Amino acid sequence: MTEGRESAALPSDRLERFARHIVLPEIGGAGQVALASARIALVGLGGIGSPVLQYLAAAGIGSLTLIDDDSVDASNLQRQTIFAVADIGRPKVEAAGEWVARFDPAIVTDAVARRIDRDNAATALDGHDLVLDGCDNFATRLAVSDACVSLAIPLVSAAVGRFQGQVGAFSGNLSDQPCYRCFVGDAFDAEDCDSCAEDGMLGAMAGWTGAFAALAAIRVLLAPLGGLGDPQFGKLHVLDGLAPGLRSLRIARDPACKGCGN
Ligand SMILES: [Zn+2]
């Protein structure tokens, strides 16, 4: 299994574009082919979704489904780095799709300009290899998590507020693994639960958290090849920007969980 043979599936312009990945033994040609074959759904194109989109597109993910029901607001530009002044008022999925087309026309994108809820989550997320959720409300997060469990799709969930970020990978369909609902519980199913609008957020925290979430997604996608090791399902990473540092904790599976329990 030589690197040359494994990367032969990539055309020469792609070999050049991803040379810094392919030279890494942890990724190599086979890893780059795996990334190019992957289809990821991004839920939320905000402060987390922006760097996630930038780094997943830059990583050569073959197909991206962009999901957001919101339009670009002037107050988004402090942290939502894919948007510019000219995008204010436009649907985020439209501006984000144009960003991808400009950045790398080889990436296939789909746009879903709807809020994900309990009724439409399974339909919107079916067929993806991974879902990355960086949305701004718990009702959507829980609907996304439950759909990922039932569809057996790995989920990377990322959140940020003020000076703290959280990133976790979940595979709640596996009998020994917690799901996102095991972590947060059922109290947040209501639509009007929370938002970052009141709390505020340092823009660079969204960048750090989003880039960390993109790394977690790549880790999950490459796990079958073994290059980056354990996908770290069920582990939550807490990013502290005020006293800069990182701590990680394991989330317990809740046997009574409505999402993944019996
Ligand atoms: Zn659960």
pLDDT in tens, 97-154: 999 999 999 999 999 999 999 999 999 999 999 999 999 999 999 999 999 999 999 9
What is the C-alpha separation between 41 and 32, in angstroms, rounded?
A: 19
Question: What confidence score (pLDDT) does residue 192 get?
Answer: 54
Phi, psi (rounded to 5 degrees) for 116: -75, 130
Give distance in angstroms: CA of 18 to centre of ligand 1. Answer: 37
The amino acid that residue 113 corresponds to is: A
* 3 state SS of 144: helix
In order, the DSSP letters of 10-62 are: S-HHHHHHTHHHHTSTTTHHHHHHHHHH-EEEEE--STTHHHHHHHHHHTT-S
Question: What confidence score (pLDDT) does residue 193 get?
Answer: 52
What is the C-alpha separation between 53 and 97, in angstroms, rounded?
A: 10
Does residue 180 carry a pLDDT above 90? yes
What angle (nearest 5°) sits at the alpha carbon of residue 130, between those of residues 22 and 35? 15
- Residue 135 known to be catalytic: no
Give distance in angstroms: CA of 168 to centre of ligand 1. Answer: 13
Question: What confidence score (pLDDT) does residue 135 get?
Answer: 96
> Which pTM value belongs to this model?
0.94
pLDDT in tens, 40-89: 999 999 999 999 999 999 999 999 999 999 999 999 999 999 999 999 99
Question: What confidence score (pLDDT) does residue 5 get?
Answer: 45
Which residue out of 182, 193, 196, 260 is catalytically annotated? 196
Give distance in angstroms: CA of 204 to centre of ligand 1. Answer: 31
* 3 state SS of 6: helix
What is the C-alpha separation between 64 and 75, in angstroms, rounded?
A: 26
Question: What confidence score (pLDDT) does residue 186 get?
Answer: 83
The amino acid that residue 64 corresponds to is: L
Question: What confidence score (pLDDT) does residue 13 get?
Answer: 93
Residue 187: band (very low, low, confident or very high) from pLDDT cuts 50, 70, 90 = confident
Question: What confidence score (pLDDT) does residue 121 get?
Answer: 98
